[in-house]
Structure 1
Amino acid sequence: MLLAVSGTQPQQRISRGVEFLPDATSRMQVQDMLDNSSLHWQTEQSDLLSYGMQKVPYWFRYQLPRLDSREKWLLEIDYALLDNLEVWFFDDQGLLSEYATGDSLPFRARTIRSEKFLFPVPQSPGPVDLLIRAQSSGSLKLPINLWQAEHYLVYSGEHSLMMGIFFGFLAAMGLSNFFFFLTTRAVNFLVYCGYVFCLGLTLLTLHGLAYKYLWPENIWLQGRSVVLFASATMLFAAIFSRELLPVRRFSMALDRGLLMVAGLFLMILLLGLLLPYWLTIKVFLIVLIIAIFFICGIGFWLWSKGVVVARLYTLAWVALLSSALIASLENLNLLDLDIRSHYLLMFGATVETVLLALVLAISYNQQRQDLFEAQERMLHKERQLREAQQQAQDDLEYKVQERTLELEITLRELSQSNRELEERNTLDALTGIRNRRYFDKKYVAEVRRSRREQTLLTVAMLDIDHFKSINDRLGHLVGDECIRAVANQIRLHLRRPADDVCRYGGEEFALLLPNTDAEGAAVLLEAIRQDIGALQVHTPAGPVSLTISVGFSTGAVHMDVDDNELLEQADQALYRAKAGGRNQVQTYNKESGVA
């Protein structure tokens, strides 16, 4: 490892001399880094640890300078969008401390609750070696700074003040334009308000402030927020450009082009909810660069046509979109900057919001004047049409109410008929209990609930022993009486509302016992078996004694388990009960098939 510069400075940037290693397999562990001397580490020669869009993790190692032991030191990684970040500190004696963080973990998991990644540097009499594993689904950067704790507190306070002023300015601009919309009902103000707020949320996310203050527990939103809010920002930008500038008056093709740009960013926003972040952010950055040139080109073209608002509009967008273009090129690893691209975006956003607010005010005044003139021309026609419109509206409302009442009556009758039909279709005509159709639906529902809540579910299959012999000797009417008697006896034992017994087919019954463990199920099923064994069924052919065989299976359904597994296991247990002499209860056992 390389030795860094003196550790007496209050703040040091760590870049040159850092060794890095891409982990193409994504499987290497920290012990592999320590034990394997054959790894081909590369040494960073530039002032920036930036590697563009990388899906694989990168390992970094560095030997920290000897630090003043009288001071507390912090290691800062000034990039808030790392998905996974693991840090180890070693000395000659071994591991000093280790940390795991990143925005794939809840914000509360961070050692120091900061929007940036901060780690206390452990004290050691000897050199301290730093090992880092970093992974990002977007751009992979690792701006590392070493700080004296006291100096960092001063810097953090100044930085927070600057952030507060900037985002307070954006919030004030957004809210003021929202109030303008409420009072004027001018859509341009609402679109501009949406643009400013989405831009603010984008910058809050890039700086890690949104994860800290707005959704510290929402990992899913944090992983997609950049592409969602940035796409929403450009969507509002395209709509705002189309509404503010008289594009359609000069070129319908360019007007359709702005609609297409808005549609592309809307599509990226929707895809950002579904597709992986690494894919959507690449598509977004490419479309963003094209949109920047397209929107600025329209502004310059309208400027050349003598459109007054196009001049300030173009200057405003050049300020922001130039900074956005530079940020996009840096994220694609096509450009190296000495200043964080986030701060360029803040500067561009400040200039742009001020100029656009001025353009919006000028445009609104012009639109208001045009509107007043148009209103004067329309007043006369409006008075003539008002009475006819009111009469037509009254007639329409009466007809709508009449048809609505008829429809409500019809729907109520249809709903009642459907409920009655559904009830009849799920009852077994012979026994009065639920039938196979009902069981199939209820079984699927209980399996899904068990999988979702990880609760136990018992499925039992019951079969009347030697039923075919009863049918053959005594007739089907006697067999029907026996089936009814068994169904009634089972139903008497089910006291919980969630428990269900269904006639599965012929002389076979199925039981669903949610939230029931194997021991409880065995007690219940054994009681059912004994009571049926003691039962004398009174039939036209005389008293008939019955026995049943029972097989059941109990378990919590896991994600990788087939829905029918519990049912199949219960059926196997029933088969073993019949093969073992009948008149018994068997439970499924994973090792031997059944107990």
Structure 2
Amino acid sequence: MHVAFVLDGEVVSEYHVGDQQPFTERPVLANSFVLPVPDTEAHEAFVRVQTSSSVRVPLYIWQESDFHAAQGPLNVAVGLYFGVLICMVVYNLFGYVVTREPSFFSYSIYVIFTGLLMAALSGVGFRYLWPEFLWMQERAIVLFGGLAFVFASIFITQLMNLRSNGIRWHQGLVALGVGAAIISICSVLLPYSVTIRMLLGFAIIACSYVMVLGAAMWIRGMMHAQIFMLAWITFLASILFNSLAYLGILDGQFIQRYAIMIGSGIEVLLLSWVVTLMYSAERTQKIAAQDEALAQAFVAQEAQRQLNEELEVRVAERTQALEDVTARLQVANSELEQKSREDGLTRVFNRRYFNEQLQHVFHQAQEEGKPLSIVMVDIDHFKPLNDAYGHLIGDDVLIAFAKRLQETASRPTDFVCRYGGEEFAVVLPDTDAEAAKRVAERLQDAIRKRPFASKAGPLQVTASFGVATTTVEKPAHSALVLLKAADDALYRAKSKGRDQVIRVTVNADA
């Protein structure tokens, strides 16, 4: 729209406004085209309007104060309308989250696109949502109108369960949904003058179809179908009035701007009411069905009770017998498991358990970023002792030696294993190198300072100790690397004359 004010043959001021210019460039930021009029002298006004579709250009001259006074109530009404839509969306989305009823969700999406359509029709969208997005302003009415009908068809199908209750009606709604989607796509490809007529004609057909559908469901006795019909009759009437106003058959700026908004507002409220009522009725029916099922179950349970009482005694006897057998099996399995992990002579853990558990504690130490130490222990000169006193005395020494290791390395997480022959391994989780060396020295003192009692008399025994520790910063590559380091340290202790504690720290470079 090009408006020029002329005084004495000269253009005093001129304005260019329209949907092809950003909203922020309007001389007065209002939803409709508002221009300041020179008020000093009488001017001639020349108005040139160009559009790709139909347009009505009613002209009004206002005092500025009167204009703002008139716009105030309208802005409040429009704000209330969109506030109601937002409340409906939030309420029904909350209903969907709580109940997982799909009609709540599809209805919410339908209301969102209806609100966007109304925002485009009223100018609220161009003013607040896409003031610089001219592409959207040109296509918003048809795009959002088509999407609103798409989700309306989905919502009605879910609300009335048409997949089960009316397959032919469902097919009709699917066709309408596809048609609405095609119109939305056409809004991007075809001129607005073509797509707006497509949308208006389609809206009348779709609303009429839905109204007939509501009447059919009402005749079938579907609950609350009359409210559903009233909602769509209201919306259809508003679309009809709006279409007639756009086509110039009805005269009325108010009808053209607010008819669909009023009709859609009433329709949204009524449909939300229908959704709530139908869900409540369905829930009541489910509760009644559950109560009836519970009553029938109670009767059946009472009949079953007598039979159960007769069986309970026999079942209890068999259960007790089974529990006794199970308990004995558990004890036997526990003993077998314990024996499979223990060394038969010394009753400390055996080599098999050591290999399995070392991998576990090594990976745990890596994950938790904690140190891990191993102390390899070998009884000094055990073979000469065994040869001199016999295997029975040697066995007594091994048993007492293992017990003394357990008494000294006594934390719940520590464990002692017989590695082979007279060689033992003490695993110390969460123990750094210094602490591991102190433990090894305590083990050395416990063995060195107290002779071992035997049938051949007290026997003085010493042992060699190899200590290896992973570092927190650079842990060993594997448990085998750590074990080999401890074994090498033990070998060095024996090489240096035995009865020694040799400590090494293993890192990633080892």
Q: Name the structure 1 match of 2:371.
A: none
Q: Name the structure 1 match of 2:197.
A: 282
TM-superposition CA deviations, 1:477-498 (whole Å, max 9, x none) = xxxxxxxxxxxxxxxxxxxxxx
Q: Name the structure 2 match of 1:130.
A: 45
Offset at 1:108? 1.6
Q: Name the structure 1 match of 2:14.
A: 98
Cα distance between partner residues in 2 of 1:94 and 1:123: 16
Offset at 1:299? 0.9
Offset at 1:226? 0.5
CA contact (8 A) 1:289 1:328 kept: no
CA contact (8 A) 1:300 1:310 kept: yes
Q: Name the structure 1 match of 2:301.
A: none
TM-score by length of 1: 0.47
Q: Name the structure 1 match of 2:215.
A: 300
Cα distance between partner residues in 1 of 2:22 and 2:284: 53
Cα distance between partner residues in 2 of 1:377 and 1:268: 49
The 3 A distance-change label for structure 1 pair 337 and 305 is farther
- Choose the corresponding residue for 1:156, options 47, 65, 71: 71
2:169 partner letter: L
1:187 aligns with 2:102: yes
- Extract structure 1 runs of 4+ deviating beyond 4 A: 369-378
Cα distance between partner residues in 2 of 1:224 and 1:186: 33
- For residues 105-124 of structure 1, the aligned pairs below 5 Å read 105-124=21-40
1:107 partner letter: F
CA contact (8 A) 1:112 1:119 kept: yes
CA contact (8 A) 2:28 2:35 kept: yes
TM-superposition CA deviations, 1:75-117 (whole Å, max 9, x none) = xxxxxxxxxx111111334212100011111112111122221
CA contact (8 A) 1:215 1:222 kept: yes
1:243 aligns with 2:153: no
- Choose the corresponding residue for 1:356, options 241, 247, 271: 271
- Choose the corresponding residue for 1:322, options 234, 237, 254: 237
1:291 aligns with 2:195: no
Where 1:89 maps in the other structure, the secondary structure is strand
TM-score by length of 2: 0.54
Cα distance between partner residues in 2 of 1:202 and 1:144: 25
CA contact (8 A) 1:89 1:95 kept: yes
- Give the alignment's Cα RMSD to 1 decimal: 2.3
Cα distance between partner residues in 2 of 1:261 and 1:375: 38
Where 2:202 maps in the other structure, the secondary structure is helix
The 3 A distance-change label for structure 1 pair 341 and 371 is farther
Q: Name the structure 2 match of 1:269.
A: 184
Tell me the number of residue pairs that the alignment of Structure 1 and Structure 2 aligns.
293
Cα distance between partner residues in 2 of 1:198 and 1:121: 37
Where 2:132 maps in the other structure, the secondary structure is coil
Cα distance between partner residues in 2 of 1:129 and 1:304: 63
2:46 partner letter: L
Offset at 1:337? 3.7
Q: Name the structure 2 match of 1:230.
A: 145
Where 1:336 maps in the other structure, the secondary structure is coil
Cα distance between partner residues in 2 of 1:376 and 1:188: 26
Q: Name the structure 2 match of 1:212.
A: 127
2:220 partner letter: K
Cα distance between partner residues in 1 of 2:109 and 2:161: 21
Q: Name the structure 2 match of 1:167.
A: 82
The 3 A distance-change label for structure 1 pair 375 and 87 is farther
Q: Name the structure 2 match of 1:488.
A: none
CA contact (8 A) 2:5 2:46 kept: yes
1:86 aligns with 2:5: no
CA contact (8 A) 2:238 2:259 kept: yes
Cα distance between partner residues in 1 of 2:182 and 2:269: 29
Q: Look at both structures and tell me which one has the larger radius of gyration over its CA atoms.
A: 2
TM-superposition CA deviations, 1:489-508 (whole Å, max 9, x none) = xxxxxxxxxxxxxxxxxxxx
CA contact (8 A) 1:86 1:98 kept: yes
CA contact (8 A) 1:203 1:342 kept: no
Offset at 1:192? 0.9
The 3 A distance-change label for structure 1 pair 190 and 332 is same
Cα distance between partner residues in 2 of 1:343 and 1:305: 35
1:147 aligns with 2:62: yes
Offset at 1:274? 2.2
Where 1:142 maps in the other structure, the secondary structure is coil
Where 1:279 maps in the other structure, the secondary structure is helix
The 3 A distance-change label for structure 1 pair 138 and 172 is farther
In the alignment, structure 2 segments of 5+ residues that lack a partner are 294-510
- Choose the corresponding residue for 1:203, options 118, 139, 143: 118
Identity %: 33
Where 1:147 maps in the other structure, the secondary structure is coil
The 3 A distance-change label for structure 1 pair 375 and 143 is farther
CA contact (8 A) 2:241 2:255 kept: no
Q: Name the structure 2 match of 1:176.
A: 91
The 3 A distance-change label for structure 1 pair 375 and 216 is farther
CA contact (8 A) 1:245 1:309 kept: no
CA contact (8 A) 2:223 2:278 kept: no
2:3 partner letter: V
Offset at 1:375? 9.5
2:19 partner letter: D
The 3 A distance-change label for structure 1 pair 376 and 273 is farther
Cα distance between partner residues in 2 of 1:159 and 1:225: 22
TM-superposition CA deviations, 1:394-420 (whole Å, max 9, x none) = xxxxxxxxxxxxxxxxxxxxxxxxxxx
Offset at 1:212? 0.8
CA contact (8 A) 1:292 1:325 kept: no
Q: Name the structure 1 match of 2:228.
A: 313
Where 1:143 maps in the other structure, the secondary structure is coil
Offset at 1:335? 3.5
In the alignment, structure 1 segments of 5+ residues that lack a partner are 1-84, 379-595
Where 2:55 maps in the other structure, the secondary structure is strand
The 3 A distance-change label for structure 1 pair 137 and 180 is farther
Q: Name the structure 1 match of 2:300.
A: none
Offset at 1:204? 1.1
Q: Name the structure 2 match of 1:256.
A: 171
CA contact (8 A) 1:170 1:196 kept: yes
TM-superposition CA deviations, 1:187-235 (whole Å, max 9, x none) = 1111111111111111111111111111111010111000011111111
Offset at 1:250? 4.9
The 3 A distance-change label for structure 1 pair 242 and 334 is farther
The 3 A distance-change label for structure 1 pair 150 and 319 is same
Offset at 1:371? 6.0
Offset at 1:311? 0.9
Cα distance between partner residues in 1 of 2:69 and 2:251: 28
The 3 A distance-change label for structure 1 pair 184 and 270 is same
1:201 partner letter: L
The 3 A distance-change label for structure 1 pair 247 and 335 is farther
- For residues 363-442 of structure 1, the aligned pairs below 5 Å read 363-369=278-284
Cα distance between partner residues in 2 of 1:368 and 1:265: 33
Cα distance between partner residues in 2 of 1:338 and 1:224: 22
Q: Name the structure 1 match of 2:258.
A: 343
CA contact (8 A) 1:245 1:310 kept: no
